[in-house]
């Protein structure tokens, strides 16, 4: 564990350190006051980091899961007896059983973020492809898993950059842009999703005015988005979640860009709680509302957002987390969903790495998966 005084943008959100047999993350629960890098080595540490939001954001969770299951599976190698091709069948079944057990354990940390399950399924597909390859040792299989984890990481950087390029076509110099929660570099490896157009606009001197919702109850907008964008030199204004409608009414906001954790086939999108309120206000005041979604976040198996499982968080996040003393009576019940679903009819467009999907989303999203993508 280390503390560092460098700027937040100097560190990758998630890094694999094979030499130390560890994953390194930024503990985002301590931001912005402290930049602390922590090392994760065990399944319990990895799962806890995901569940407690030390690492968060759908893409970053996916990368953490990929690196994590690779690290854990490599750690099981000493238990494999006689790692030779002649022992392939017996050793492979033992390794696969271990992999599936640890993958299920990690996946249970955050049920709403589809990238967690997506990354683990993708890693499993590599493992499954090795079952009939009798010439392979388990060490060679683990090397392939590590390569796939790095591939997922590198693809995330490129996907975010492409989302940024498409999103930038929707902006002009001097625009005001509102965002909710943190779909920035801290939620990915680089650029972010909703913030990718902002980072590219900064590089090209657009002079955007960024408005960041505070994002109760965990304050990802105040602690993370405002912090990382101001560190990048952007013009950032923080506001409480219930002030966004008032701001849009003034005409200061020309577009809303948000990330998401899961998109259904009809375009309904689950994102951090409070997103749907911003979408409703944007609809009322004629502000275009865009969801920035890697295709890995689009779940075509779900017809509508009604099928998205919404994680319920501990009541203490609302009543105690940010206060010196408890701020409500102890017999008061608390409703604390981590996400809400923004209905597709409130969404102007869904920006992916392959282009901007527009209504009707049942057609435009399906087309993304039918057409060959480059």
Give the number of other CB atoms < 10 A from CB of residue 260.
Answer: 29
Give the number of other CB atoms < 10 A from CB of residue 177.
Answer: 26
Q: Where are the alpha helices (DSSP H) in the chain?
A: 43-51, 58-75, 88-107, 114-129, 138-168, 196-203, 220, 226-231, 244-249, 275-284, 316-319, 361-370
Give the number of other CB atoms < 10 A from CB of residue 340.
Answer: 18
What is the rounded CA–CA span in Å between residue 266 and residue 301?
Answer: 10
Pair 157, 190: CB distance under 8 Å: yes
Check if 261 is active-site: yes
**R_g over Cα of the chain:** 21
One DSSP character per residue, 223-247 reads IIIHHHHHHTT-EEEEE-GGGHHHH
Q: Of the residues 27, 156, 241, 261, which is catalytic?
A: 261
What is the rounded CA–CA span in Å between residue 298 and residue 261?
Answer: 9
Classify residue 91 as exposed, middle or buried by CB count within 10 Å of its CB (0-12, 13-18, 19+).
buried
221 DSSP 8-state letter: I
Pair 187, 56: CB distance under 8 Å: yes
Pair 215, 272: CB distance under 8 Å: yes
Classify residue 239 as exposed, middle or buried by CB count within 10 Å of its CB (0-12, 13-18, 19+).
middle
Pair 77, 88: CB distance under 8 Å: no
Tokens (6 digits) for 117:
């399950």
Tokens (6 digits) for 299:
């779940």
* Those residues with Cβ within 8 angstroms of residue 241's Cβ, 6 or more apart along the chain or in another chain: 180, 213, 214, 215, 216, 274, 277, 278
Active-site residues, by number, are: 261
């Amino acid at each position: 564990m280390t503390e560092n005084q460098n700027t937040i943008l100097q560190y990758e959100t998630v890094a694999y350190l094979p030499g130390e047999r560890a994953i390194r993350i930024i503990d985002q629960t301590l931001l912005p006051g402290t930049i602390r890098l922590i090392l994760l080595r065990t399944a319990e540490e990895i799962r806890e980091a995901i569940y407690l939001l030390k690492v968060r954001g759908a893409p970053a969770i996916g990368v953490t899961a990929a690196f994590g299951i690779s690290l854990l599976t490599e750690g099981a190698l000493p238990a494999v007896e006689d790692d030779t091709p002649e022992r392939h069948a017996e050793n492979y079944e033992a390794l696969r059983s271990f992999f599936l057990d640890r993958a299920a354990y990690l996946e249970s940390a955050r049920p709403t973020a589809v990238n967690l399950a997506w990354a683990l399924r993708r890693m499993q597909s590599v493992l499954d492809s090795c079952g009939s390859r009798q010439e392979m040792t388990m060490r060679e299989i683990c090397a392939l898993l590590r390569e796939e984890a790095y591939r997922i990481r590198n693809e995330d950087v490129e996907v975010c950059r492409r989302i940024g390029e498409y999103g930038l076509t929707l902006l002009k110099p001097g625009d005001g842009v509102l965002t909710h929660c943190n779909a920035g570099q801290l939620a990915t490896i680089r650029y972010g999703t909703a913030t990718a157009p902002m980072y590219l606009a900064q590089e090209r001197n657009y002079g955007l005015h960024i408005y960041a919702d505070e994002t109760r109850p965990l304050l990802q907008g105040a602690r993370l988005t405002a912090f990382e964008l101001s560190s990048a030199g952007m013009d950032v204004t923080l506001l409480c979640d219930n002030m966004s409608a008032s701001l849009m009414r003034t005409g200061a906001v020309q577009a809303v860009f948000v990330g998401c954790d899961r998109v259904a086939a009809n375009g309904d999108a689950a994102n951090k709680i409070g997103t749907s309120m911003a979408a409703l206000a944007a609809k009322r005041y004629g502000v275009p509302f865009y969801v920035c979604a890697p295709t890995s976040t689009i779940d075509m198996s779900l017809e509508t957002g009604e099928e998205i499982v919404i994680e319920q968080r501990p009541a203490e996040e609302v009543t105690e987390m940010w206060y010196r003393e408890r701020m409500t009576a102890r017999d008061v019940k608390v409703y604390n969903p981590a996400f809400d679903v923004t209905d597709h009819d409130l969404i102007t467009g869904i920006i992916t790495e392959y282009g901007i999907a527009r209504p009707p989303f049942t057609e435009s999203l399906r087309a993304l998966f039918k057409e060959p993508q480059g």
